[in-house]
Copies of this chain bind each other. A is one copy, B any other.
Amino acid sequence: MPARSDAQAQEGKRRLLLQAAVRVFARKGYHASRISDIAEEAGVAYGLLYHYFDSKEEVLRNVFRETWRALIATIKSVEEGDDPPREQLRKVAEILIRSWRREPDLVRVLVLEVTRSGHLAGEMDEIVASFAAIQEIVERGQADGTIRVDIDPLLASYVFYGAIDELLTGWVLGRLPDSDDDLARAERTVVEIVAGGLAPEHAGATA
């Protein structure tokens, strides 16, 4: 009876439940998901869920916290790297889009239930932070002359993030094809369009 396995098994159950919750939320949506669905998916009695989480909402909150934060951290590290802004934007797009490939259920939940819905009102800060990173990339680009200065960086971050979010939603809802090629092309496209539109040579209209 190795001590390590005990702690691990315990933590394992928590993880197990969280992962089961992601799958169930992805499949049926948060509201339509019952606690018993999650427990059944995890193969445990539903009472156990209440050992680890206080409520259904707490489950969603934990899914969000323990995954979104990792995502934000990754994006943040890109923003703090030395790449030129356009390459940074590309990497951010890559991270978000690849996360769909790796963990489609998770992305589905994050996109449909957390980011957009009001279910996790208190968690807004975290979400805002992800825009902030993009915003800073834009600001840096404006500082070094690679991004036109007549664009509000905050709005630019919304445009960029919204474009990717819509693509994710398209895949999530099965409206867009999602082969590896499709993902790669989408990544290129969104960067081409947004980074292109942000490029300075090209101060089309007003401000």
**Which of A's residues lie within 8 Å of B, judged by CB?**
29, 31, 111-112, 116-118, 124, 128, 150-152, 154-156, 158-167, 169-170, 173, 175-176, 185-186, 188-199, 201-202, 204-207
Chain B min CB distance to A63 (Å): 18
**Partner pick for A163 among B116, B162, B176, CB 8 A cutoff:** B162
Are A188 and B159 in contact (CB-based, < 8 A)?
Answer: no
Point out which of A155, A170, A201 has the most chain B C-beta atoms below 10 A from its C-beta: A155
Are B197 and A194 in contact (CB-based, < 8 A)?
Answer: yes
* Complex: A165 Cα to B161 Cα, angstroms: 10
Chain B min CB distance to A93 (Å): 11
Residues in chain B near residue A170, CB distance under 8 A: 158
Q: How many copies does the complex hold?
A: 4
Using A161-B166, A170-B158, A202-B201 as known contacts, say yes or no to A193 and B194 having CB atoms under 8 A apart: yes
- The 8 lowest CB-CB distance pairs between A and B, nearest first, are A162-B166, A197-B197, A196-B197, A193-B197, A159-B163, A31-B31, A155-B189, A162-B162
Point out which of A150, A154, A192 has the most chain B C-beta atoms below 10 A from its C-beta: A192
Are B124 and A175 in contact (CB-based, < 8 A)?
Answer: yes
Using A163-B158, A166-B162 as known contacts, say yes or no to A192 and B197 having CB atoms under 8 A apart: yes
Are B185 and A117 in contact (CB-based, < 8 A)?
Answer: no
Point out which of A31, A116, A161 has the most chain B C-beta atoms below 10 A from its C-beta: A116
Are A202 and B199 in contact (CB-based, < 8 A)?
Answer: yes
Using A116-B116, A193-B156 as known contacts, say yes or no to A188 and B162 having CB atoms under 8 A apart: no
Residues in chain B near residue A206, CB distance under 8 A: 188, 192
**Partner pick for A189 among B128, B152, B173, B185, CB 8 A cutoff:** B152
